[in-house]
Structure 1
């Protein structure tokens, strides 16, 4: 049985961090033999990190955790302690580029949530989701 593992990528408040996070996640999952989860995981991580970078002014972090027998948890920490906006139903979303993040997370992940979480003396929150390996 595979052992559990976890990676944390600390990112600056910079729009380029979204691409760095997505590519890093793809490499992590590929190296761990989880290629079947890559596309969905990239979509979810992109939405979580985009929210962290676009809606806050401080640093952020992407956490990727694997727990046997087959759960991948993706999470984004940001420096804003306010709860995320509740996701709108996908049927109410337009073709707009923004406002769809958590609706996609809710639709594509097996489960998602958020919690207040301080890091390095910074108040903030942690928004996470999980995918089960097929």
Structure 2
């Protein structure tokens, strides 16, 4: 008899606190280890780190990390925040900003995400009823050597 693995998804609500991205990365590592996905952990953690840092830096409110498997053999790492503005690297048909100079202290996050992810996207969420609006930026990567 074949066994079916139950689907799973995790969402971690985070306050706008400088410690929140680190807590989210630790939670992501724990979740991936619990599901036997340690081979994808470095890439997933880098994607989460960049998305979380942008949410913390460019918004004033809470944000959330969401992680869930996609079919086949893909993992989606997403970050929600309450600002509906979409960064240029995620806008449909939008170009990435220029690569910053070597001595710049920032500006490489979206380039890292685009380099490490197999696909990226955004959902702009309109405020309806209990929804908080904002946007959900996501990046997907493969696990287990699947192509």
What TM-score results when the alignment is normalised by the length of structure 1? 0.89
1:131 to 118, 130, 141: 141
Give, in whole Å, the separation in 1 of the partners of 2:6 and 2:103: 41
5+ residue gaps, structure 1: none
Give, in whole Å, the separation in 2 of the partners of 1:104 and 1:88: 12
2:108 to 100, 109, 131: 100
Higher mean displacement: 31-40 or 111-120: 111-120
Q: 3-state DSSP class of the match of 2:97?
A: coil
Give, in whole Å, the separation in 2 of the partners of 1:64 and 1:53: 18
Aligned length: 132
Name the structure with the higher helix share: 1
Give, in whole Å, the separation in 2 of the partners of 1:131 and 1:85: 21
Could you tell me how far 1:121 is from its partner in structure 2?
4.2
Larger Rg: 2
Q: 3-state DSSP class of the match of 1:63?
A: strand
**Do structure 1's residue 48 and structure 2's residue 51 form an aligned pair?**
yes
What TM-score results when the alignment is normalised by the length of structure 2? 0.82
Could you tell me how far 1:5 is from its partner in structure 2?
1.1
| RMSD of aligned residue pairs (Cα, Å) | 1.7
